[in-house]
Amino acid sequence: MRPLDLGTPGGLVLALLPEIVLSAWALGVMLVIAWRHRDQRDQRLVGLLSLTGLVTTLAVVVGFWIADVRIAGFPGMIAVDAFRYATSSVFLVAAIAAVALSLGYLGRERLLVPEYYLLMLLATLGMMFMGGGADLVVIFLGLELMSIAVYVLAGINRRSIVAAEAALKYFLLGAFASGFLLYGIALLYGATGTTNLTILYLQITGLGLQDNLMLLLGIGLLLIGFGFKVAAVPFHMWTPDVYDGAPTPVTAFMAAAVKAAGFAALVRVLLHALAPSQAVWGEAVWWLAAVTMAVGNLVALAQRNLKRMLAYSSIGHAGYLLAAVASGTELGASAFLYYIVAYTVMTVGAFAVLVAAGTDDERNVAIDDLAGLAQRRPWLAFAMAVFMLSLLGFPGTAGFIGKWFILSSVIDAGEAGLAIVLVVTSVVSAGYYLPVIMAMYMKPPVSEEAHASVGLPGAGRVVVAVAAVLLLVFGFWPNRALDLAHDGSDGLRPEVILTNTPQ
């Protein structure tokens, strides 16, 4: 373990090195956009530079993780632990996949908006601050940086009325939810006198504030704010319309990375700072998880449009992740980390196939439109089958291991009722995942010309292939990934942080 002292300028700079590297790339990309922005070649150059910046930042994060860089002394405003490295890696991988899909997509849709890639970088930077923030102020600033960039990305296609509607709806509801979150932070500060997560924990335990009314109101408002960001029922109203109206690579980015960032901040706040009040927030999260799993999966059953089905599916998966959080244990945090990785990979992969299938307009791709895809594009159909089976939680895929891990954490916490809801809703989800596979493999193409234009450029094919392989590898050989998930969750425990702090 390599300790860092955040009390020195050098230590603070080194702790923030991943964010500094990505910020430097974002500034460089901004200059290139100002210099070259006239045609698709210029836009592709900006995309490749953005991709290079994300890969470079991922290399720095992984380097820190391998070197086991940790904090020496009392935590400041930024966390230096394995949980930060794990979540940052998820955000960066999702962003890399989204940018790779966008390289061909923007040209195909005749969108000349090189600023698109800069917004991707800024949104990812905000996510990294959300996952690595050790102070509520840092988490909120990261949330706003991410949100503002994603608001614009949702409406980046200025020719589309649907995209404009999606962006406006997302902006209005997002700003409203940010207000709840900010009021919650203010109430927590009023109750404890601090916004630092570790000091919050010490104040609640030391002063016996578990039942303090101001603290309880603050927790409630925080749950409302985060509930919107993770698309938990009943704060999910924006999700289907925004996912449907945004460009599909942006939808993949939102469904995977934006959701992961919201959950990363929620898990750190609840399991670290507010651990003494688990009796209060645990019951609220229990009901949020149960209702979200039920509503997301049941409404998805009625969808015939593939993009909207995946949108409601993402709501159901938010419920599974909330179930891991509701357990309130280190095992639950480990299950969350493993499942968020699997969920990110299979969600990005599924939307990548939708990008390939929707050459004319992916918004209108119905499940039946995939009929006969296995005959014309067997490798693409096989990849889509892997993604659907993994989302379902079929044995042999990473999705199965992740759901089993969550189920274990819920049962270990004594929440048998929530475990039953998880199992039943997972069975229900077969009603909308399996028809996709049946259409591809058991129905003939609707015409001789069907799927003739289906395909992805080189970068998109790599995204689909890597995603499918990873899901199968993690499904059959999950041990290493499970070990990393355990390692990542260990840094969340306040007692571990305080033990490493010099007295």
Q: Which of 12-21, 68-77, 127-136, 364-373 has the lowest mean pLDDT?
A: 68-77
Q: Is the pLDDT of residue 117 over 60?
A: yes
Q: Is the pLDDT of residue 1 over 70?
A: no
Return the structure tokens found at 493.
């425990």
Average pLDDT over residues 162-183: 88
As a whole number of angstroms, the distance between CA 283 and CA 294 comes to 17
The pLDDT, as a whole number, for residue 502 is 44
Q: Please tell me the total count of domains within the chain.
A: 1
Beta bridge partners of 78: 133
Q: Is the pLDDT of residue 49 over 50?
A: yes
> Which residues 6+ apart lie within 8 Å of 81 measured at CB?
70, 71, 491, 492, 497
Average pLDDT over residues 117-145: 93
Beta bridge partners of 2: 69
Over the stretch 461-471, which tens digit does the pLDDT of each residue have? 888 899 999 99
Average pLDDT over residues 94-112: 87
Average pLDDT over residues 31-57: 88
> pLDDT class for 73, splitting at 50, 70, 90?
low
Beta bridge partners of 4: 71
Q: Is the pLDDT of residue 374 over 90?
A: no
> pLDDT class for 291, splitting at 50, 70, 90?
very high
Give exposure, 120-134, as e/b (b: 16+ Cβ within 10 Å): bbbbbbbbbbbbbbb
The pLDDT, as a whole number, for residue 503 is 41
Q: Is the pLDDT of residue 321 over 80?
A: yes
- DSSP secondary structure code for residue 273 in this structure: I
Return the structure tokens found at 457.
């450029």
Q: Is the pLDDT of residue 431 over 80?
A: yes
The pLDDT, as a whole number, for residue 109 is 78
How distant, in Å, are the alpha carbons of 117, 315, 490 from that of 112?
11, 32, 45
Phi-psi region of 212 (alpha: psi -120 to 50; beta: other; left: phi over 0): beta
Q: Which pTM was predicted?
A: 0.91
The pLDDT, as a whole number, for residue 372 is 81
Q: Three-class SS of residue 366?
A: strand
For residues 477 and 70, the model is more confident at 477
Q: In the chain, pLDDT over 70 holds for what percent of residues? A: 93
Question: Could you tell me which of 399, 343, 345, 340 has the C-alpha nearest to residue 86?
Answer: 340
Using alpha carbons only, give the angle 122, 127, 128 rounded to the nearest 5 degrees.
95
Average pLDDT over residues 351-367: 76
Per-position DSSP letters for 106-174, written without gaps between them = HHHTT---THHHHHHHHHHHHHHHHHHBSBHHHHHHHHHHHHHHHHHHHT--TT-HHHHHHHHHHHHHH
Per-position DSSP letters for 406-472, written without gaps between them = HHHHHHHTT-HHHHHHHHHHHHHHHHHHHHHHHHHHHS--SSTTTTTT----HHHHHHHHHHHHHHH
Q: Is the pLDDT of residue 43 over 70?
A: yes
The pLDDT, as a whole number, for residue 467 is 92
As a whole number of angstroms, the distance between CA 148 and CA 433 comes to 33
Q: Which of 101-110, 117-126, 345-354 has the lowest mean pLDDT?
A: 101-110
Spatial contact of 383 and 467, defined as CB atoms under 8 Å apart: yes
* Mean pLDDT estimate for the chain: 87
As a whole number of angstroms, the distance between CA 487 and CA 114 comes to 38
As a whole number of angstroms, the distance between CA 283 and CA 306 comes to 34
Over the stretch 213-250, which tens digit does the pLDDT of each residue have? 999 999 999 999 999 888 898 888 888 888 888 888 89
Q: Is the pLDDT of residue 292 over 70?
A: yes
Return the structure tokens found at 106.
């923007």
Q: In the chain, pLDDT over 90 holds for what percent of residues? A: 42
Return the structure tokens found at 255.
């469904």
Amino acid (1-letter code) at residue 175: A
Average pLDDT over residues 248-275: 90
Give the count of beta carbons closer than 10 Å to the beta carbon of residue 60.
17
Whether cis (ω within 30° of 0) applies to the bond prior to 234 is yes
Domain that holds residue 82: 2-499
Average pLDDT over residues 154-170: 86
Per-position DSSP letters for 45-89, written without gaps between them = HHHHHHHHHHHHHHHHHHHHHHHTEEE-SS--SB--SHHHHHHHH
Q: Which of 325-334, 472-481, 483-492, 493-502 has the lowest mean pLDDT?
A: 493-502
